[in-house]
Amino acid sequence: MKSTGSKHEQRSRATRAALVAAARPLFGERGYAGVGTEEIVRAAGVTRGALYHQFRDKTDLFDATVQAVEAEVTGLIAARVTATAADPVEALRAGARAFLDAFTEPDVERILLLDAPGVLGWRRWREIGQEYGLRLVTTSLTAAMTAEAAAARPVVPLAHVLLGALNEAALMVAHAEDPVAARVEMTEALDQLLDGLLVQG
């Protein structure tokens, strides 16, 4: 369990990690614009000088925070998908449910769905989502389609609209007056969407 790199690199990684760890709950609670850099560095136990040495600007720190959150939730979802890998169609449904659960967490929703597109721009947002989540969707979708012997269709645009539907469903559930009932509703709606894609030839 030896840390690698020179002492300078170790120190850099430590402060970067501390800043991201401190920024995540703050950004998740009050949004990107609602929390200043001073509060972040105080929570991280460093100064603003350290922040602006490690990150180009505030959005760069936010970018790193987004990546951290995305990596975390993708890991959770992937675990549930691979656990159901025996049945590809059911794995796809399980992935949708896991997605709903993960993105319904208030801080995840705020960071990944509400603030990230506006702050980082759609291009960068989608780039990160591509790196982490969309890959999982496309592979699951192709596996399910081949297993179901559905007509081979361009899978990438389908994956995109699916991801959009998933995002919207998560936002729906998160803000419903009755989240439990909403989760059931949206799960059914998503299942119908998936069935529609897989059933017809």
121 binds its own copies (CB under 8 A): yes
> Cα angle at 92 between 190 and 169, to 5 degrees?
30
Residue 54 binds what, of its own copies, DNA, none (CB under 5 to 8 Å, by partner type)?
Answer: DNA
Q: Which residues of 151-170 are buried (b: 16+ CB within 10 A; e: fewer)?
A: eeeebeebbbebbebbbebb
Q: Which of 7, 86, 123, 177 binds its own copies (CB under 8 A)?
A: 123
Q: Which of 11, 30, 53, 175 binds its own copies (CB under 8 A)?
A: 175
Helix axes 88-103, 58-83, angle to 10 degrees: 140
Shorter beta-carbon distance to its own copies: residue 42 or 175: 175
Shorter beta-carbon distance to DNA: residue 7 or 123: 7
Q: Single out the residue of 129, 131, 114 nearest to residue 174, CA to CA.
A: 114
3-state DSSP assignment of residue 152: coil
Under the rule (CB under 7 A), what is the footprint of DNA? 6-9, 11-12, 14-15, 35-39, 46-50, 52-54, 57-59
- Write down the least CB distance from residue 45 to its own copies, Å: 28
Q: Which of 164, 178, 179, 180 binds its own copies (CB under 8 A)?
A: 164
The structure tokens 């081949």 sit at: 146
